[in-house]
Amino acid sequence: SQQGEEDPQALSIQEGENATMNCSYKTSINNLQWYRQNSGRGLVHLILIRSNEREKHSGRLRVTLDTSKKSSSLLITASRAADTASYFCATVNSGGYQKVTFGTGTKLQVIP
Amino acid sequence: NAGVTQTPKFQVLKTGQSMTLQCAQDMNHNSMYWYRQDPGMGLRLIYYSASEGTTDKGEVPNGYNVSRLNKREFSLRLESAAPSQTSVYFCASSVQGYSNQPQHFGDGTRLSIL
């Protein structure tokens, strides 16, 4: 079963624009992580935000977390062609047995 | 620094054949995982090993077996391949199980079963 669902499924923007991807989930979480996957490659960890955090930054990445709405967003500012990839959110549930569940991803295309 | 290495990168099997997918990590991580990735399904956990000497089922374990050979290596075996197992298989590792630890992924094995 999928815990995280990304929205939109696909996004196409011009280089230099900002890209925003959203992730919704269903159960209480310990933390939420974002990963990037370039075509034909494995996933690469981008950023982790804990359930008691509301916002986190890493370079051109900004992640927000709203636990009351069970949602997170990933903002990539000043996008580059090299940002073209699929982006996945992954949730780690809270309490008891912790497991990580990946969403189905947002496919981002940045047009030069 | 290789990180997580998976072999082979590509494989074509006939229904009923068996094979083992290999995974090795050089980061001294305790936990290792096997996922499959299918279009529109995201990643689904097949098996994981929280530490050397332990293995546990994930979300979709049927048709697979695993071996944690040592701290570095975690293999996935298909005993009798079926077309439904056509997928891209990813191995991952983390310092320790889940929790607040990011996972590090290999580049996958693309498996087709005819």
Beta strands in B1-114 (DSSP E): 4-7, 10-13, 19-25, 31-38, 42-49, 56-57, 64-68, 74-78, 87-94, 104-105, 109-113
- Whether chain A has a CB inside 8 Å of the CB on B53: the answer is no
Of A27-36, B20-29, B80-89, least confident by mean pLDDT is A27-36
Report the distance separating Cα A61 and Cα B47, nearest Å. 31
Q: What is the pLDDT at residue A98?
A: 66
Q: What is the pLDDT at residue A1?
A: 44
Q: Answer for the pair A50, A38: CB distance below 8 angstroms, yes or no.
A: no
Cβ-Cβ contacts under 8 Å between A and B: the total is 55
Q: What is the pLDDT at residue B99?
A: 67
Question: Which residues does A contribute to its contact with B (CB < 8 Å)?
Answer: 1-2, 4, 30-31, 33, 40-45, 48, 50, 88, 92, 98-100, 102-105
With an 8 Å Cβ cutoff, are A100 and B104 in contact? no
Sheet holding B19-25, edge to edge: B4-7, B19-25, B74-78, B64-68
Q: Which domains does chain A have, with CATH numbers?
A: 5-111 (2.60.40.10)
Confidence of residue B39 (pLDDT cuts 50, 70, 90): confident
Predicted confidence pLDDT, tens digits, chain A (112 residues): 446 788 899 999 999 999 999 999 998 898 999 999 999 999 999 999 999 999 999 999 999 999 999 999 999 999 999 999 999 999 988 765 667 889 999 999 999 9
With an 8 Å Cβ cutoff, are B105 and A105 in contact? no
Contact residues on chain A for B45, CB-CB shorter than 8 A: 99-100
Q: Answer for the pair A91, B43: CB distance below 8 angstroms, yes or no.
A: no
Q: For a pLDDT cut of 90, what percent of chain B falls above it?
A: 82
Q: What is the pLDDT at residue B87?
A: 97
Residue type, A64: T
List, for residues B103-114, the tens digit of each pLDDT value. Answer: 999 999 999 999
Residue in A102, A106, A107 to test binding to B, most B beta-carbons within 10 Å: A102
Chain A nearest-CA distance from B3, in A, is 11
Report the distance separating Cα B50 and Cα A55, nearest Å. 30
* Three-point CA angle B29, B106, A65, nearest 5°: 75
**Spatial CA neighbour of B18 closest among B63, B59, B60, B68:** B63
**Pair of tokens at residue A88:** 């996945």
Q: What is the pLDDT at residue B60?
A: 94
Q: What is the pLDDT at residue A27?
A: 86
Of A44, A45, A103, the CB nearest to B42: A103
Q: What is the pLDDT at residue B98?
A: 60
- Determine the straight-line distance between the first and last CA of chain A, rounded to whole angstroms: 36
